């Protein structure tokens, strides 16, 4: 099956600075794909290159098999992008903006007007439809950007930090809508610094750092490959720890002890160390690594 988005040996340099370094990556059709990295890692450069806003130094990008340079008209119909920058339009209302955006793609008529009404309703913008965007809150402006990205029925939706600065209620409603679109077959590409969101939503994840692709794998593969598990002990009194526990102690806050333990260490061995340390345990919690811990582990390795 043709990839939803394909990056082939993509490089983008600004003089001596290379924002992207030979990125080769395929985003499968129908996936909810996470593109993760620290600030300045190259995520927005990749997205802008997909959208035709950045000219590559080398390589090519295809959207559903169509080159974003040679077939730019076609790829821009296939792609909807929600940028980080908020809209601030003083002349047109929300509904007018959506009609104008529809016109760029030659979309008009009753069916398109009905789709605009549905977007306004689903994004809780109906009561703001005749308001100019510079009068809206930041969260409302973010919703308008999402509606504008969806108004031409794209096959691939790119969400670049879509919940930055929005409240919890809006975040939950946006993700519910995104999951519904994904269930209908839309490919969604997400960048976010809220790694709990990526872990909950994405089925496949790429991590980039300083313009280099560190890894791309399913969420389950990434989490399973992490060599640690984390165990918290709540105790009545902290005694002297045996050497095995002391070597694995990651954090100590009053009567709460947090250990980082190799995944191949049997729990029976850990409990034996607890007994040898004469710890009076009130509670014990064991958990696998989170995506945030995997991300930090991978990106920190590149700086050591």
pLDDT digits (tens, 9 = 90+) for 16-26: 899 999 999 99
Cβ atoms 222, 294 nearer than 8 A: yes
| Per-residue model confidence as pLDDT tens digits over 275-285 | 999 888 899 99
- 120: CB partners within 8 A, 6+ apart: 94, 95, 98, 126, 129, 147
CATH code matching the domain that covers 5-218, chosen among 3.20.20.140, 3.40.50.300, 3.60.20.10, 3.30.420.40: 3.40.50.300
Q: Is the predicted pLDDT of residue 32 greater than 90, yes or no? A: yes
Percentage with pLDDT > 70 across the chain: 98
The domains of the chain are located at 5-218, 227-288
Looking at the DSSP bridge assignments, the partners of residue 238 are none
Q: What is the pTM of this model?
A: 0.84
Nearest C-alpha neighbor of 149 from the set 114, 101, 117: 101
Q: At the topology level of CATH, where does 227-288 sit?
A: Alpha-Beta Plaits (3.30.70)
**What pLDDT, in 10s, does the model give residues 86-139?**
777 788 899 999 999 999 999 999 999 999 999 999 888 999 999 988 888 888
* Torsion 163-167-171-173 (CA) sign: negative
């Amino acid at each position: 099956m043709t990839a939803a988005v394909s990056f082939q040996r993509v490089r983008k340099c600004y003089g001596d600075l290379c924002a992207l370094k030979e990125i080769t990556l395929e985003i499968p059709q129908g996936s909810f794909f996470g593109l993760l990295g620290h600030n300045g890692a190259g995520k927005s450069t990749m997205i802008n290159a997909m959208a035709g806003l950045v000219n590559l130094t080398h390589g090519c990008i295809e959207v559903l098999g169509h080159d974003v340079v040679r077939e730019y008209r076609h790829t821009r119909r296939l792609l909807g992008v929600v940028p980080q920058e908020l809209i601030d339009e003083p002349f047109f209302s929300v509904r007018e903006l959506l009609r104008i955006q529809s016109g760029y793609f030659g979309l008009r008529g009753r069916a398109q007007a009905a789709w605009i009404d549905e977007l306004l309703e689903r994004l809780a913008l109906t009561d703001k439809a005749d308001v100019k965007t510079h009068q809206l809150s930041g969260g409302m402006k973010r919703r308008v950007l999402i509606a504008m990205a969806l108004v031409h029925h794209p096959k691939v939706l790119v969400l670049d930090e879509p919940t930055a600065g929005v409240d919890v209620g809006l975040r939950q409603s946006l993700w519910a809508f995104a999951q519904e679109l994904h269930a209908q077959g839309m490919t969604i590409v997400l960048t976010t610094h809220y790694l709990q969101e990526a872990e909950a939503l994405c089925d496949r994840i790429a991590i980039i750092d300083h313009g280099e692709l560190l890894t791309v794998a399913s969420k389950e593969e990434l989490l399973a490959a992490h060599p640690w598990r984390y165990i918290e002990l709540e105790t009545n009194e902290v005694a002297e720890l045996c050497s095995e526990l002391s070597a694995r102690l990651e954090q100590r806050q009053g009567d709460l002890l947090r250990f980082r333990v190799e995944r191949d260490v049997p729990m029976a061995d850990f409990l034996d160390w607890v007994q040898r340390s004469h710890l009076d345990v009130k509670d014990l919690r064991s958990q696998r690594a989170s995506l945030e811990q995997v991300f930090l582990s991978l990106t920190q390795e590149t700086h050591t």
